[in-house]
Amino acid sequence: MKYIEVGIIAFIVSYILTPYMARVGKKQNMIDMPGHRKIHEEAIPNLGGIVIFFGFLLSLLFVVQIEGQIKTLLIGGVIILLLGVVDDIVDLSPKHKFIIQMIPALIVIIYNSDLINSFIVNQLKIFDLLGYLIYPILIFWIVGVTNAINLIDGLDGLACGISFIALVTFLILGLRQNLEALSLISIALAGSILAFLKFNFYPAKIFLGDSGSTFAGFMLASIGALWVLNSENVFFILIPIIILALPIVDTLFAIWRRYRGHFPIFQADKGHLHHRLLTRGIAHKSVVFILWGISAICGVIALVLAL
């Protein structure tokens, strides 16, 4: 019952707060301006991260105690959110953002070090230093997925829909393994994002902004990592990768494309999958639905393999 309560409260808070924050964004000039690398043609408020965060936070505060893994992910999420808000205002250097994003990743990893060590011994069956490579791998995973969701946030509703589909998949997996904290986090964020999606879908009245896309990415990465660490099958390492395959593959191709073109890795471009589909004459909404469909297929494949 509490899962339903959390989801409903998150949805209601986000639904009520979104129009208000859209007005605040316009009034305070906290907007995303059109540009040669942008699809939209008018200034759009970019305070979506604040919306989904408060929908997420208040739903948990009203129903459950904020402790353990929930508290840890909230602390890390706040750091990511604030970093994103600052970036939306002053446009921080990608390298500086990348370094700062390691801090919340480290918070999650340090708090769950006992769980990680247990996974190394019981699942990886490795007792030497090789097993502890999982620590830098986890940092890379969390920071990487955080930015992957940010990079795929190029069309109205795209990142929100992909995140929602992934969260529902993680919710099912969490409930299946009786992982209460991860299930609550998943449904809280899913409810908040679903309500926000009504205003973010084409034509968008408000954007996630870097604050929203990186917050969603950080949460998805952390949920995926913690789900694997709680699993009893080492091959389940592949499950979060499958669930988030679309943004991960899109990001890897972006890195390769920029490397081959001798462009800075962090330099934005219009070569992402959604851009390529648009250039083929496919309508904005249709591109979003196609990519949502691919994400849903990935989610179903992950569930079939894991359940």
SS (H, E, C) 80-119: HHHHHHHHHHHCCCHHHHHHHHHHHHHHHHHHCHHHHHHH
Q: Give the C-alpha distances (Å, rounded to integers) separating 188 from 43, 90, 191, 219, 221.
A: 29, 30, 5, 11, 16
Cβ–Cβ under 8 Å, residues 6 and 184:
yes
Contacts (Cβ under 8 Å, ≥6 apart) of 235: none
pLDDT tens-digit series, residues 70-90? 999 999 999 999 999 998 888
Mean of pLDDT values over 282-300 = 96
With 70 as the cut, is the pLDDT of residue 295 above it? yes
Q: How many domains does the chain have?
A: 1
Tell me the whole-structure pTM to 2 decimals.
Answer: 0.93
d(CA 121, CA 133) in angstroms, rounded, equals: 13
Residue 38's pLDDT band, with cuts at 50, 70 and 90, is low
Q: Which of 261, 291, 259, 293 is nearest to 275 (CA)?
A: 291
Best CA proximity match to 192, nearest among 222, 220, 164: 164
Q: What domain range is 288 assigned to?
A: 2-306
pLDDT in tens, 184-194: 999 999 999 99
Tell me the pLDDT tens digit for each residue of 24-33: 988 888 887 7
Contact, 161 vs 285, CB < 8 A?
no
Give the C-alpha separation, 97 to 12, whole Å. Answer: 32
Q: Give the closest residue to 124 by CA, choosing from 242, 220, 231.
A: 231
